[in-house]
Structure 1
Amino acid sequence: MDSFARLPEECISAILSLTSPMDTSRFSIISHAFKSATDSDNVWETFLPPDYQQIISTSVSPVVYATKKHLYFTLFHSPILLHGGNISFSLDRRSGKKCYMLGARELLLSWGGCWSWTSHPHSRFSEVAKLKCPGWIHIRGMIKTQMLSSNTAYAAYLVFSLAGRFNGLESSRTIVRFVDPQTENSMIKTVESSEKLESEGTGKIAQVRGDGWMEIEMGTFYNGQEDNRAVEAWLIEINNPGGKSGLIVEGIEFRPVRGRKEREKYRKE
């Protein structure tokens, strides 16, 4: 006999809401009682961000869904475009935390004359930035902490690709820091590191993403409960101003840190 069948569905829903989206999906195979509860709007409402309705209302295209579970899986499978199509929003598959990517048009690209704007068949955005002539490369993305999930460790990633022929893009420096959203003066925490855009040498290595782009971690930070600041991520000084070509920038993505050790590190700080 299915022992869970004795429990009211409201009790099962309450139990599931205290787990995770992935665990809830697995519980659907335990019993018929759990199968019914795992499809409940009440359960999946708890996994969606508190302001999800406000977020999807700003999508450039209507977000169509039949149930809250359907909406949840839609948002982690297919990022939606916001703010005129220059910012994308999605959910982290495991935790349901917010993920944002600032498209190239939302970034500060120093020495603008060194960049051209073009479409890309694999980009979620209408335009990407392509390095067209040598120059210092300074790329900055900034996001308000209130847009992100609270009490969550985040990492910033530069999302890019390389043209068939590229040169001078072996290494870079990155900075991730909190800033005052009014004055943009740096506050509290600065993280600097030496990165690698290729596999040679030491440092962090660029990874190939599931969407065909490459990414490299720029730094990490912890978004607390009452944060009302902004976070900026910089990539600066790739070697020298001469002899660089072939870099294509899609954007900078802010998404939750998944590693348990990394999350625990920020909880203790």
Structure 2
Amino acid sequence: MGSVFSFLPTRKTIPTTSITQMGIGDLPEGCVAAVLSHLDPPDICRLATLNRAFYGASSADFVWESKLPVNYELLIDRVFDNPPLGLCMRDIYSLLCRKNDIDDGTKKVWLDKVTGKTCLSISSDGLSMTGIGDRRYWNRISTDESRFGKIAYLQQTWWLEVDGEVDFPFPPGTYSLFFRLQLGYSSKRFGRKICNDQHVHGWDIKPVQFKLSTSAGQEAISHVFFGETGKWIHHHVGDFVIDGSSEKTKIRFSMTQIDCTHTKGGLCIDSVAIYPKEIEERLKH
């Protein structure tokens, strides 16, 4: 049995003095970078402040390329009119994590800083709404509660129909689509948020229908009664899967309540959001 372990060094051959003098900063940058590549971006950034070795390792291209979507080059071409050249992978990741405007500012695209997954938001200006040009029914209202700076406010209508579409190179994965809505119009008085619900009516009689479809043939339909006022809610329309078989996927979506037996009103429409399924739980907080 002793001969089996004869290749192991004896206690006398271990350079104990050298080991006790080594610190975490003495680790080779390549080894540190290999460890960092298995961590989430926020953890990489925190560890980069430990010492020079971790800082250098945190800049390695292969560390950040592993955090970028597999089709990040297509994302860059779609997001930027003049794609940046000569950037390291860390800078590309940082650039894509910003909320970048596309399509004349009606949409924003960014990477979730924690997961590196692609997120997209479409403003109310990027949606088609029946009667939006008639101020008897709709108004555009400026507000700091929207990342686009304004919302569409429905005072009253018989026929509600909101449609939109987006053609985008989503990376492979499962995505969820939401309408961000609120019953009642919010304002501030003496620094406190208050909700004006004088126009809110008609949403408890018949449900609103949400629908989405993709160019790959996927569909989802849901029905919701609106009730709570004064709170922005992400109403889940459905999920879709991108398998990576095409460069772009067209997503069509809608919100309708076209039962003309009654009017409905007092609805704020901020945006439509498309998020990776992994971060859906955060929208509830």
Give your verdict on TM over 0.5. yes
- Give CA-to-partner distance per residue, 1:205-264, whole Å, 9 cap, x none: x996xxxx432111111111113431222222276563311112121111101169xxxx
The normalised TM-score by structure 1 is 0.70
Q: Distance in 2 between matches of 1:233 and 1:197?
A: 19
Gaps of 5+ in 1: 180-186, 200-205, 261-269
Q: Distance in 2 between matches of 1:238 and 1:40?
A: 55
Greater alpha carbon shift after TM alignment, 27-36 vs 86-95: 27-36
Q: Distance in 2 between matches of 1:41 and 1:189?
A: 36
- Give CA-to-partner distance per residue, 1:121-174, whole Å, 9 cap, x none: 332325432213312222222122x42222x11001101233211222344221
Name the amino acid aligned to 1:168: G
Deviation at 1:47, TM superposition (A): 2.4
The normalised TM-score by structure 2 is 0.67
Residue 41 of structure 2 is matched in structure 1 by 21
Answer yes or no: is 1:190 the counterpart of 2:185: no
Residue 88 of structure 1 is matched in structure 2 by 108
Which of 170, 173, 180 is the equivalent residue of 1:159?
180
Residue 149 of structure 1 is matched in structure 2 by 171
Identity %: 20
Q: Call closer, same or farther: CA 1:155–1:244 in 2, change over 3 Å.
A: same
Residue 6 of structure 1 is matched in structure 2 by 27
Residue 251 of structure 1 is matched in structure 2 by 271
Q: Call closer, same or farther: CA 1:247–1:12 in 2, change over 3 Å.
A: same
**What is the CA RMSD across the aligned residues, in angstroms?**
3.6
SS of aligned partner of 1:13 = helix
Deviation at 1:68, TM superposition (A): 5.7
Q: Call closer, same or farther: CA 1:26–1:153 in 2, change over 3 Å.
A: farther
Name the amino acid aligned to 1:190: E
Deviation at 1:96, TM superposition (A): 0.9
Which of 160, 163, 172 is the equivalent residue of 2:208?
172
Question: When the two structures are aligned, how many residues end up with a matched partner?
Answer: 236
Name the amino acid aligned to 1:119: S
Deviation at 1:4, TM superposition (A): 7.6
Name the amino acid aligned to 1:121: D
Q: Distance in 2 between matches of 1:46 and 1:259?
A: 19
- Give CA-to-partner distance per residue, 1:164-210, whole Å, 9 cap, x none: 1122234422112213xxxxxxx6322222224335xxxxxx996xx
Q: Call closer, same or farther: CA 1:239–1:95 in 2, change over 3 Å.
A: farther
Residue 129 of structure 1 is matched in structure 2 by 152
Name the amino acid aligned to 2:219: T
Q: Call closer, same or farther: CA 1:240–1:218 in 2, change over 3 Å.
A: farther
SS of aligned partner of 1:44 = helix
Which of 177, 199, 217 is the equivalent residue of 2:236?
217
